Structure 1
Amino acid sequence: MMRAGYENKLLAILSLSFGFVFFDRLALSFLFPFISNELHLTNAHLGMLSSVLSLTWALSGATLGAWSDKRASRKPVLIVAVIAFSVLSSLSGFVTGFLSLLLFRALMGIAEGPVLPVSQSLLAEASTPARRGLNMGIVNGSAPGLLGAVLGPPVLIWLATTHGWRTAFLVSIVPGIVIAALIALYVKDSRTNNNRDAARTTHERAHTDWAALLKNRNVVLCVLIACCYLTWFVIIVSFAPTFLVQYHHFPAQTMGYIMSMLGFAWVGWSFIVPAISDRIGRKPAMVIFSAIAAVCPILMIYVPDAGTMAPLVLVTYTGLGCFTLFMATIPAESTDPRAIATALGLIMGVGELTGGFLSPTIAGFAADHYGMPVVMWIASAGAIVPAFLSVFLRETAPARVGTANVRSMAGVE
């Protein structure tokens, strides 16, 4: 009973933490119309601001995630990261031009990068096997979807409209400080409680070596899947609004309604898919829901009626649920517990470099040469390939292979 109580408490705190990361990350997109008028920014500037955050996020997640695995305690890393990205987001309210905003976005990426791998490594250790997929899905998908994509737009736009966009940035420091305090007060680090010195030994450092991780079939597959799936996600969220307005000639309000369906789907599927995977297995869940996710961008091309498109988008935008599996649950169940943050940081980092940094630019050039529908076909391919790659995953769900076998695959005796 005590373990279940702490598990729920940790889940709530880490959900707030990573949810607020995406609240800050997506804030620029929602506030850009206000910022661009005052600072004379273009869409090209917006693209560069998005890319630089993805780049530093990727590098930071991979390196600091690995570094945290070598620490006696990961909790201080998480506290510092939450405070740092909150302060940097708040300081964005003082920018005077593109270069200063670019600098703060780059620094924000560095601060935000380790939050997910460190959070998921803590959650993986504290979760009961039957709830691991569900718990990690809530933190990885439902929380950022709810705070970043559902609640974020109306809150930020209201603040910008009534008090100015600078105020919207400035007040973002408040929830970050509160979350950091909750982590400091209530989050335990099982590594610290069990053995403070274990993470510093030469033997464990060998476990956190990236070359060793890349000998693990599931880790390699999850890296490749992340490259494709980040392409699917980033292209849809970046290009869908413009596509719906320019290609289908939907009014802005109609476009906003359809995009809100993506937000609700993000929240729902992010815990539904992992919860289903706890029962039927990680591999079949990845194959089935990736194939469904590949249909979503195609529907945006061929369904001309907004009233029909909206519910179809809601039921086919399933990929964010798969994100939890390949970016957190499967690698956590496939590697030594002492190297979880390293594995998660590696998968997220490489995926962000390819899908978050490179794919939007490539898709933009392709759209200029071949027309807007090509970006949706690229997005669809970003889910089809993971559906194929997932066939080769080794099953890790405890309900399907047993807890002992999962521990054996992870290298735990």
Structure 2
Amino acid sequence: MAHNNSNASYENVLLGVLFLTFGFVFFDRLALSFLFPFMAEELQLSNRHLGMLSSVLALAWAVSGALVGAWSDRTGVRKPLLVVAVILFSLCSALSGMVGGFLSLLLFRAVMGLAEGPILPLSQSLMVEASSSHRRGLNMGLLQGSAAGLLGAVIGPPVMIALAEAFGWRHAFIISLVPGLVIAWLIWRYVRPDDKSQKSSALPLAEVTDKNSRLALLKSRNIVLCTLISCVFLTWFIVLISFTPTFLVTQRGYSPASMGGIMSCLGVAWVFWGFAVAAISDRIGRRPTLVLFSLVAACCPLALLYAPTPTSLGALMLLTYTGLGCFTLFMATIPAETVSRSVIATALGMIMGIGELIGGFVSPTIAGFAADRYGLSIVMWMSCGGALLAAFLSLFLKETAPAVLARKAGRDSPTATQLQGNP
């Protein structure tokens, strides 16, 4: 009993520390979007530059997430990598406030992306090992979905906008160094040292368990589909989150304060749906949940285009910004329930990396050029299309939810059928 209590206590501590860690990753990642209207005139930046800045960070995420995730699985090293990554991306975020032009800003965002890329696969692999089976989906949803929403989209917009209005956008970037250093200390203090004996153990539902399992990842239908879904759903997310603040100010004519309020509504939805979608999927299954909430997410950019008032737009953001809850399913939960524990970080890094390459690197650049030529409205249609494609691809996933599989096994059991036929 004492051992179980100790494990449960550490599970909660780890969730708290990693919640703050990944949440602050998105706080820093999205800071550029919120501060762009303040810095664009001084640095002579256009929509094209905004798209390129988002793209280079995503490209760096893609490369480092895939490579470091695979290296971590081979070596069993995670905690030291997390500490170094948090310190490095915090420094790069602060240095973004000292830039003199587009090229230096591009460089710092690229290095920042290299540091941030491994954090999600490393964090989720740690969380999988520490989670009890009945809390696995909830923990992963809180870590990836709700954390990023709370710190990145609820707290981030009003804090960064207030700092920019009070002290200037440069100081807003520089101040962000402080919480990053605090989080790095929390990881070092409270996360247990790496236990390499856990490296080869497998989850109960794992399909990919052979010695060449890293190559076998490419033969798993779920892993391939999750990778494709990542590409199109990241298009939905990155295009939407990168251009929405500027779209609201320049296209819809909203004040910075109104824009910040709407982005905070988006963040509240992010927090709620981040764990609610995962909880719903535990009951009805991963596949139908992804299909349903991908279709709902497709309505979000349409609301940004056509909602008549800031108040109605805020309400629609709360109802339709469901995509980050879906992210937890195809980027973490479904892969973790599909592959052996020894290659979880590799699988998550590959899904995230290829998704960032296409949806995070290619799509924003195309969107930025398209916005300069056809107007900012075009980026909202691109975002909508990404979510619709995600819903279509989700139809072909193999179900992995333990409760759903157990119910299906019970229905298909010969013993159960015989018992139903006996008086």
- Bin the TM-score by the shorter chain: 0.7 to 0.9
- In the aligned structure 2, how far is the partner of 1:154 from the partner of 1:51? 24
1:287-315, Cα deviation, whole Å (9 max, x unpaired): 11112112222233344344333312211
- In the aligned structure 2, how far is the partner of 1:27 from the partner of 1:285? 30
Contact 1:122 1:189 in 2 (8 A): no
Q: Which of 112, 133, 137 is equivalent to 1:108?
A: 112
Contact 1:208 1:342 in 2 (8 A): no
1:67 partnered with 2:74 = no
Contact 2:201 2:340 in 1 (8 A): no
Contact 1:72 1:197 in 2 (8 A): no
1:58 partnered with 2:62 = yes
1:384 partnered with 2:388 = yes
1:229 partnered with 2:233 = yes
Contact 1:39 1:97 in 2 (8 A): yes
In structure 1, runs of 5+ residues without a counterpart are 406-413
- CA drift of 1:66 comes to 0.9
Aligned match of 2:296:
292
- CA drift of 1:351 comes to 0.8
Q: Which of 316, 321, 330 is equivalent to 1:312?
A: 316
Q: Which of 85, 97, 103 is equivalent to 1:93?
A: 97
Aligned match of 1:123:
127
Q: Which of 258, 264, 269 is equivalent to 1:265?
A: 269
Q: State the AA in 1 paired with 2:362.
A: L
1:321 partnered with 2:329 = no
Q: State the AA in 2 paired with 1:401.
A: L
Structure 1 residues 215 and 197: CA distance shift in structure 2, 3 A: closer
Q: Percent identity, aligned pairs only? A: 62
- In the aligned structure 2, how far is the partner of 1:162 from the partner of 1:303? 30
Which stretch shifts more, 289-298 or 52-61?
289-298
Matches within 5 A, 1:182-193: 182-188=186-192, 191-192=195-196
Report the count of equivalent residues.
399
1:24-58, Cα deviation, whole Å (9 max, x unpaired): 11122223344344444444333322221111111
Contact 2:86 2:184 in 1 (8 A): yes
1:32 partnered with 2:36 = yes
C-alpha root-mean-square deviation of aligned residues, in Å?
2.7
Contact 2:287 2:394 in 1 (8 A): yes
Q: State the AA in 2 paired with 1:148.
A: G
Contact 2:239 2:379 in 1 (8 A): yes
- CA drift of 1:333 comes to 0.9
Matches within 5 A, 1:5-404: 5-188=9-192, 191-192=195-196, 194=197, 206-207=211-212, 209=214, 211-244=215-248, 248-250=252-254, 252-367=256-371, 372-402=376-406
* SS at structure 2 position matched to 1:70: helix
- In the aligned structure 2, how far is the partner of 1:371 from the partner of 1:33? 16
- In the aligned structure 1, how far is the partner of 2:375 from the partner of 2:282? 41
Which stretch shifts more, 307-316 or 359-368?
359-368
Structure 1 residues 301 and 337: CA distance shift in structure 2, 3 A: same
- CA drift of 1:251 comes to 5.1
1:100-131, Cα deviation, whole Å (9 max, x unpaired): 22211111110000000100011111112221
- In the aligned structure 2, how far is the partner of 1:190 from the partner of 1:5? 18
- CA drift of 1:207 comes to 4.7
Q: State the AA in 2 paired with 1:348.
A: M
Q: State the AA in 2 paired with 1:16.
A: L
- In the aligned structure 2, how far is the partner of 1:365 from the partner of 1:47? 8
Q: Which of 5, 8, 20 is equivalent to 1:4?
A: 8
Which stretch shifts more, 137-146 or 31-40?
31-40
- In the aligned structure 1, how far is the partner of 2:126 from the partner of 2:58? 24
Structure 1 residues 244 and 92: CA distance shift in structure 2, 3 A: closer
- In the aligned structure 1, how far is the partner of 2:375 from the partner of 2:126? 45
Q: State the AA in 2 paired with 1:314.
A: L
Q: State the AA in 1 paired with 2:136.
A: R
- CA drift of 1:9 comes to 0.7
Structure 1 residues 391 and 99: CA distance shift in structure 2, 3 A: same
Q: State the AA in 2 paired with 1:121.
A: S
Give the TM-score, by structure 2 length: 0.86
Contact 1:283 1:390 in 2 (8 A): yes
